[in-house]
Amino acid sequence: MPEMPEVQGLVDFLRGRASGLTITRATVANIAALKTYDPPIQALEGSTITGASRHGKFIDLSTTGPHLVFHLAKAGWLRWTDALAPTIIRPGKTPIALRIAFDDGSGFDLTEAGTKKSLAFYVVRDPADVPGVERLGPDPLDEGFDRDAFAGLLAGRRTQIKGVLRDQMIIAGVGNAYSDEILHAAKMSPYALASSLDESDIDRLYAAMTETLTEAIAEASGKPPAELKDAKRRGMQVHGRRGEACPVCGDTVRSVFFADNSLEYCPTCQTGGKILADRRLSRLLK
Ligand SMILES: [Zn+2]
């Protein structure tokens, strides 16, 4: 799943490549992914791209007409082509959800792999009209978001820190992968309760969060969409690296499996050597 750094990479790419281009055609191949009906999708046709920005993990293309806002969800991606093929897209038989064609012959597809479809796009007058955008918490890299603002978000939350970091309504842009990386960098258990963190824990976690995200954004910035996923994978210390050696201490990276995902952590760095119970297995054994 693309998270803040990859989404920022896509936004930077689109701002540079698509600004000034006029949309000649917007073809919806997965109608279920289009979440709005007013303005209609055709309102994009004839509109010129004026900019691109990011709201959490949402990408917002502004035009001289409405905004096109999209969320790539778990298995979605943006595929850019300098010369868009004139092929006809057959709905239901393609991973393409939306195709945008520009007046210079270029364009992009929003694609989604797998059978569970959750990619979403919106044609709106104002990005705040998208419910997921309107509900977003603060962006951890915003100038005003300092260590004390972060402490304020954690205070009194008797929930596990892993869940807090991933909750878009609390902090925008961090998902499963970067929350694993941030917690590893902070040497903190994913199960630590947010409300139980002391001042030095919060210092460490805030520093780990801003450094991890800033470095990942620097890595993603300037890369074409096709290279962003590999760049993300390469940058990971523990996420997606179960069974490999922790680059910090050499211990074996472990996973905890849940119904539809998993987290990775290093026992030596994060839990005092304790192996966390596999949630999927323990549920089966009950
Ligand atoms: Zn380690």
DSSP letter string, the chain: ---HHHHHHHHHHHHHHHTTPBEEEEEES-GGGB---SS-GGGGTTPBEEEEEEETTEEEEEESS-EEEEE-TTTEEEEEESS---PPP-TTSSSEEEEEEETTS-EEEEEE-SSS---EEEEESSGGGSHHHHT----TTSTT--HHHHHHHHTT--SBHHHHHH-TTTSSS--HHHHHHHHHHTT--TT-BGGG--HHHHHHHHHHHHHHHHHHHHHHTT--HHHHHHHHHHH-SSTT-TTSBPTTT-PBPEEEE-SS-EEEE-HHHHSTTPPPP-HHHHHHH-
- Model confidence at 283, pLDDT cuts 50, 70, 90, reads low
Q: How far is the CA of 60 from the centre of ligand 1 (A)?
A: 38
pLDDT in tens, 31-40: 999 999 999 9
Q: How far is the CA of 254 from the centre of ligand 1 (A)?
A: 10
Of 158, 136, 155, 135, the closest CA to residue 147 belongs to: 155
Q: Rounded to 5 degrees, what angle do the CA atoms 32, 38, 42 make?
A: 80
Could you identify the residue written with the tokens 């750094």? 5
Whether residue 280 is predicted with pLDDT greater than 80 in this model: the reply is: no
Whether residue 279 is predicted with pLDDT greater than 70 in this model: the reply is: no
Q: How far is the CA of 250 from the centre of ligand 1 (A)?
A: 6
Whether residue 285 is predicted with pLDDT greater than 80 in this model: the reply is: no
Q: How far is the CA of 179 from the centre of ligand 1 (A)?
A: 16
Q: How far is the CA of 216 from the centre of ligand 1 (A)?
A: 20
Q: How far is the CA of 99 from the centre of ligand 1 (A)?
A: 43
Q: How far is the CA of 249 from the centre of ligand 1 (A)?
A: 4
Q: How far is the CA of 245 from the centre of ligand 1 (A)?
A: 8
Q: How far is the CA of 280 from the centre of ligand 1 (A)?
A: 24
Q: How far is the CA of 261 from the centre of ligand 1 (A)?
A: 21
What percent of the chain stands above pLDDT 70? 97
Tell me the average pLDDT across 65-76.
96
Whether residue 286 is predicted with pLDDT greater than 60 in this model: the reply is: no
pLDDT in tens, 215-250: 999 999 999 999 999 999 999 999 999 999 999 999
Tokens of 10: 């896509």
